[in-house]
Chain A
Amino acid sequence: MKLKKIIFIVYLFFFSCLQANEKKSELLEIYKNLRCLVCQGQSIADSNSDFAATIKLVVQDQIKEGKSKDEIYTFLTSKYGEWIVYQPTFNRNNFLLWTLPYAILVLGGFVIFFIVRKNKKQ
């Protein structure tokens, strides 16, 4: 009986540790995608500035409220504009930025295909 209790406690301990780690890594992922607006090229994760500390508090609160990553980004974007997120959302202004690499990749594939086919024929 005692052994069972001990196993149960150890299981609970490891489970809570695992959950805490998951939450920490989720927080870190969000911090890394947020730009510190008052710093030179630093993310919220890298900065110890007052602004970064406040944003961290707000993100922690929103995670506790059960908000998703995207909801947090949407909230902060509505307050600070899209500049606050490192990974911009897909919109009219940046559709080329998102689609051009794929278009070039596909185009490159076609070019290589036709060159190879032509060389084989020759």
Chain B
Amino acid sequence: MKINISRIIIFIFVIFFLLVFWRGLKKDNNYDTKSLIGNKISNFQLTEINNEDQYFSEEDLKKNKYTLINFFASWCAPCRTEHKFLIRLSNERKKIKIIGINFKDKKSNAINFLKELGNPYYFSGKDVDGKISILFGIYGIPESILVDNKLTIIKKIVGPIDRRQYEEILRLIQ
């Protein structure tokens, strides 16, 4: 009888550890912040790249049905590849507005970047030391966040926007 009880305990422990390892193996361990979808954007204030007196805050976001917040920099190569999709999205002005946040960049370089590739943003803010990016849960650029007028995060795109994501954004804002 004694042997049976200890056998049962050992068996339960083995099953428990196997289950833990099995779950651990099945779990996706690549970190991303997609779990933040559904959360609200908190208070922030952006200053325009060209005009220190022009501000943009979460109150301005409430005026648009959908806003795509895009973090970009002139030194970021993937930002160039996604730019054409941002330009295309900017043509859907009635449905979505795009704001750009220039991340840890030189003002002149950022302006040249937008002159060269086109400016899809209706507001271009600056984040000189990166602190604003933390408010949005950004950990690398390019990153984009789609929010609605209730400031709820609908989609988070880590990395450059490609055709698939562009189409998904269009689908989401329909």
Contacts and interface: CB of A to CB of B under 8 A. Distances in A.
Interface string B48-60: 0000000000000
Given A37-B31, A50-B104, A80 B131 contact: no
Secondary structure type dominating chain A contacts? helix
Interface in A45-97: 50-51, 53-55, 57-58, 61, 76, 78-81, 83
Contacts of A7: none
B140 interface: yes
Interface residues of A, number: 16
B130 A50 contact: yes
Interface in B9-63: 31, 33, 35-36, 39, 42
B134 interface: yes
Contacts, number: 37
A76 B138 CA distance: 11
A108 B155 CA distance: 48
Interface in A25-55: 37-38, 50-51, 53-55
Contacts of B133: 54
A119 to B, nearest CB: 15
A54 B131 contact: yes
Given A50-B104, A51-B140, A79 B31 contact: no
15 contacts: A37-B31, A50-B130, A51-B140, A54-B129, A54-B133, A55-B134, A57-B129, A57-B130, A58-B134, A61-B131, A78-B39, A79-B135, A80-B137, A80-B139, A83-B31
